[in-house]
Amino acid sequence: MMVDVRTVVVAIGGNALSPSNETASIYNQFRHTRESLHAIVPLAVEGWHIAIVHGNGPQVGDALVRNEAGRHLVEPLPLGVLVAGTAGWIGYMIRQSLTNLLAQANCERRVVTLVCQARVDENDPALKEPTKFVGQTLTESAATTLRAAGECVEKDSNGNLKRRVPSPIPVEIVESRMVSDLVRAGTIVIAAGGGGIPVYSNAGLGLEGVDAVVDKDRAAAILAKDIGADLLMILTNVDADYAGWGTENPRRLDRLTTSEALTLLATGEVGVGSMKPKLEAAISFVLDGGSRAVIAALKNGPAAVAGKSGTEIVPDVLEDSAQNPV
């Protein structure tokens, strides 16, 4: 173990475990889970304290389909409960797969899945405006049927028809203290799966569930802040963020200060499609006191930790110090 133990929160997308271009069988999802975790094993071997947050977009979308298929036989479950279910099932896949990979690497680390709640503001306007795409691509016929039932269906950035559900911004991971205690003890914790089960504070009842899906990158940023992580690492399917993505001359961004990143976001030069919440989450973590955040390709996790891959977001003062050393 390292003398100076560092803590990282790693965010892995649900699409990494269930790509849209293949059958979402549990066999395929286990296979992709194992592939996704190869980036984390070296960090565990080096002694990093680790928390893992995963998405659930494809999985919760499939759960909604199962809801509809069986609605004449059993009572359908609300979206918030489906999120809890996916956190358990994906958490199981990650825990089993990571435990096996660590054993193969002769690394004795405990791994646990903790199903977490993400507290949101009950007055968040996002609760009334569905923005998050979930599930597999729909046919025109299926989209028409869902719209007739009051569901929101739109085309995503790739032109695919998908469901859209509310995605409020999390303000707290309710179980963050427990996550922190476990992580500090050396346990690798899979937490806030699917972004956490969305809940709000009810003056009379305490915490109450809400039907939405919290963005996992936002949840990872909140968790990283709450447990005092040194690094937030968001793993995705591209090697870095780019200015002018989709144009003839995209420009790879290796390192940005928070001010630079905010300016590029405001001008629309970065943050296209699904990259926007990732960049926003990275910025928010650093603005909240984090040392740095990095957005990188899944396969490049260890290199990204070493500052050799991906897009780094750093505090303005850190960049100033690097350019003007005392």
- The letter for the amino acid at 30 is F
| pLDDT (0 to 100) of residue 322 | 53
Tell me the pTM: 0.91
Residue 48: closest CA among 105, 92, 95, 4: 4
Which residues span the domain enclosing 211? 7-121+174-323
Calculated CA dihedral for residues 286, 292, 296, 300, nearest 10 degrees: -160
**b vs e for 141-156, b when ≥16 Cβ sit within 10 Å of the residue's Cβ?**
ebbeebeeeebebeee
Q: Cα 290–181–47 angle (5° rounding)?
A: 70
Q: How many other C-beta atoms lie within 10 A of the C-beta of residue 281? A: 26
Distance CA 269, CA 201 (A): 37
Distance CA 199, CA 212 (A): 9
| pLDDT (0 to 100) of residue 102 | 98
201 occurs within a structural domain: yes
Which stretches of the chain drop beneath a pLDDT of 70? 1-4, 272-273, 318-326
Helix (H, G, I), strand (E, B) or coil at 248: coil
86 occurs within a structural domain: yes
| pLDDT (0 to 100) of residue 121 | 96
269 occurs within a structural domain: yes
Dmax (CA) of the chain: 71
| pLDDT (0 to 100) of residue 3 | 43
| CA 20 and chain centroid, separation | 17
168 occurs within a structural domain: no
Distance CA 128, CA 266 (A): 24
Domain tally for the chain? Answer: 1
CATH number at residue 305: 3.40.1160.10
| pLDDT (0 to 100) of residue 238 | 84
Helix (H) or strand (E) holding 186: none
150 occurs within a structural domain: no
Residue 187 backbone zone (phi > 0: left; psi -120 to 50: alpha; other: beta) = beta
CB-based burial of residue 230 (10 Å sphere; 0-12 exposed, 13-18 middle, 19+ buried)? middle
Phi, psi of 136 (to 5 degrees): -85, 170
| pLDDT (0 to 100) of residue 323 | 52
104 occurs within a structural domain: yes
152 occurs within a structural domain: no
**Which tokens sit at 84?**
């809890």
| pLDDT (0 to 100) of residue 259 | 96
The set of catalytic residues is 14-15, 132, 216, 278
**Which tokens sit at 63?**
């759960």
| pLDDT (0 to 100) of residue 274 | 77
| pLDDT (0 to 100) of residue 241 | 87
Distance CA 191, CA 313 (A): 23
127 occurs within a structural domain: no
Q: Cα–Cα distances in Å, from 153 out to 64, 127, 135, 136, 246? A: 13, 16, 11, 12, 24
Beta 111-114 vs 188-191: how paired, if at all?
parallel
Q: Cα–Cα distances in Å, from 117 out to 84, 102, 145, 156, 176? A: 9, 28, 32, 27, 9
